[in-house]
């Protein structure tokens, strides 16, 4: 069997949260593997940076939208289909953290974490289904087989194992597992493989190191505390078998693995990418 260096040539790949971090690295990874990319992020400037990084060899469409707006997922799927007339891979990656002890979580905090981590992937995949199901049915009728398509949902070890100060985030990321396993059962008949990748500690702005007080990121006009204290990072180094955090390129590699044709008989799984933690 030969190895195809461009397995995504003539394939359309939709990635959310592609302006930076893991989503940006995933865009680079899929571009190197030949994909046409449709990228979304709430942050137009960082999305433009990703587009510039990809260069002109890659066919790219971008849309700067806040995915939590009710009509955004449908608009993004429509825009991707208008440009490429196909979506072969959906990567549900956009997300952020809003941490705090359980007894101090506000209603808004709880809802915001469920919105971005559970509701947005649900809506995006429902919009995808509106195109994918009739398309797969027509393929089945015409040739007896539907094109293999992939969904890679991004979860977290916070969702699969729990994490103190992240009750809303962890619940949203656990919901991703339910969504993944359920759609794997519903969409097997359409030859869609639906898997999740649960990340451990990957170096991005969400996990940047700090000495005494945590830094903040701005998201939709609000500031959110992020980062890991040097003490937490030292603890992780001791407890992670590989002894280090993951690089975004390694995180992107795990996403790509689940989208490769080599993974055509893997569905409903949660791949942990955590250096063994
Ligand atoms: N970094 C880690 O250690 C880690 C661990 C586990 C899971 N994750 C998950 O991986 C994913 C990517 O995280 P990252 O570390 O690369 O973070 P990041 O902040 O570097 O990138 C996330 C991107 O998502 C975008 N985004 C957030 N909310 C959005 C919205 N409403 N609409 C559109 N875009 C939106 C942001 O603007 C940002 O560009 C997230 O789902 C995160 O929860 C990360």
Give the pLDDT score at 115: 98
Residue listed under structure tokens 């992240």? 166
Mutating to test ligand 1, I would choose from 14, 15, 17 the residue with most ligand atoms within 8 A of its C-beta, which is 17
- Evaluate whether residue 129 is within a structural domain: yes
| Predicted local distance difference test score (pLDDT) of residue 105 | 97
Atom in ligand 1 nearest the alpha carbon of residue 205 = 20
Give the CA distances from residue 34 to residues 61, 115, 129, in Å, rounded to whole numbers and listed in that order.
15, 32, 24
DSSP secondary structure letter of residue 247: P
**Is the CB of 42 within 6 Å of ligand 1?**
yes
pLDDT at site 136: 98
CA–centroid distance, 18 to ligand 1, in Å, is 8
Helix and strand numbers, DSSP H then E, in the chain: 9, 11
Does 4 fall in a domain? no
Ligand 1: does its nearest atom lie under 6 Å from the Cβ of 207? Answer: yes
Residue 2 lies in a domain: no
- Shortest-distance atom of ligand 1 to CA 43: 37
* Whether the CB of 20 sits within 6 Å of ligand 1: yes
Report yes or no on 6 lying in a domain.
Answer: no
SS3 245: coil
At 20, which CATH number?
3.40.50.720
With a CB cutoff of 8 Å and minimum separation 6, the contacts of 70 are 123
Atom of ligand 1 nearest to the CA of 201: 3
Show the DSSP H helices in the chain as ranges.
Answer: 21-32, 44-54, 72-84, 107-114, 120-143, 157-161, 167-187, 230-239, 248-259
Residue 2: predicted pLDDT: 79
pLDDT of residue 1: 65
CA-CA distance, 168 to 64, in Å (whole number)?
25
Which among 229, 192, 191 has a CA at the least distance from the CA of 210? 229
* Residue 176 lies in domain: 12-273
Quick check: is 184 in a domain?
yes
pTM attached to this predicted model? 0.98
- In angstroms, the CA 155 to CA 126 distance is 18
Residue whose structure tokens are 């959310």: 16
68 lines ligand 1 (CB under 6 A): yes
Q: Tokens 């506000």 correspond to what residue?
A: 106
Q: Alpha carbon 170 to chain centroid distance?
A: 15
**Ligand 1 pocket check for 139: Cβ under 6 Å:** no
Low-confidence ranges of the chain (pLDDT < 50): none
- Answer whether 41 contacts ligand 1 (Cβ < 6 A): yes
On whether residue 7 sits in a domain, the answer given is no
Which atom from ligand 1 is nearest to the alpha carbon of 117?
41
Atom from ligand 1 closest to the CA of residue 46: 39
Residue 3: predicted pLDDT: 83
Q: Is residue 246 part of a domain?
A: yes
The proportion of the chain whose per-residue pLDDT surpasses 90, expressed as a percent, equals 95
Give the number of domains in the chain: 1
Whether 165 is in a domain gets the answer yes
């Amino acid at each position: 069997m030969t190895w195809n260096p461009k397995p995504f040539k003539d394939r359309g790949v939709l990635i959310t949260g592609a302006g930076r971090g893991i989503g940006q690295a995933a865009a680079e990874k899929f571009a190197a593997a030949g994909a046409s990319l449709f990228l979304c992020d709430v942050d137009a400037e960082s999305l433009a940076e990703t587009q510039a990084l990809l260069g002109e060899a890659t066919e790219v469409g971008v849309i700067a939208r806040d995915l939590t707006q009710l009509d955004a997922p449908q608009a993004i799927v429509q825009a991707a289909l208008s440009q490429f007339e196909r979506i072969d891979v959906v990567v549900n990656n956009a997300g952020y953290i809003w941490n705090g002890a359980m007894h101090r979580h506000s209603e808004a905090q709880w809802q915001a974490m469920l919105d971005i981590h559970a509701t947005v992937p649900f809506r995006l995949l429902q919009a995808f289904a509106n195109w994918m199901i009739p398309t797969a049915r027509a393929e089945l009728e015409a040739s007896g087989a539907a094109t293999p398509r992939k969904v890679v949902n991004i979860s977290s070890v916070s969702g699969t194992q729990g994490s103190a100060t992240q009750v809303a985030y962890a619940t949203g990321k656990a919901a991703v597992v339910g969504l993944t396993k359920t759609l794997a059962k519903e969409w097997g008949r359409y030859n869609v493989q639906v898997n999740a990748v649960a990340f451990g500690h990957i170096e991005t702005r969400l996990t940047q190191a700090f000495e005494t007080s945590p830094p903040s990121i701005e998201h939709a006009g609000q500031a959110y505390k992020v980062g890991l204290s040097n003490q937490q990072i030292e603890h992780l180094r001791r407890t992670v078998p590989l002894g280090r955090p993951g690089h975004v390129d390694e995180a992107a590699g795990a996403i790509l693995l689940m989208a490769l044709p080599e993974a055509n008989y893997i569905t409903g799984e949660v791949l942990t990418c955590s250096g063994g933690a």
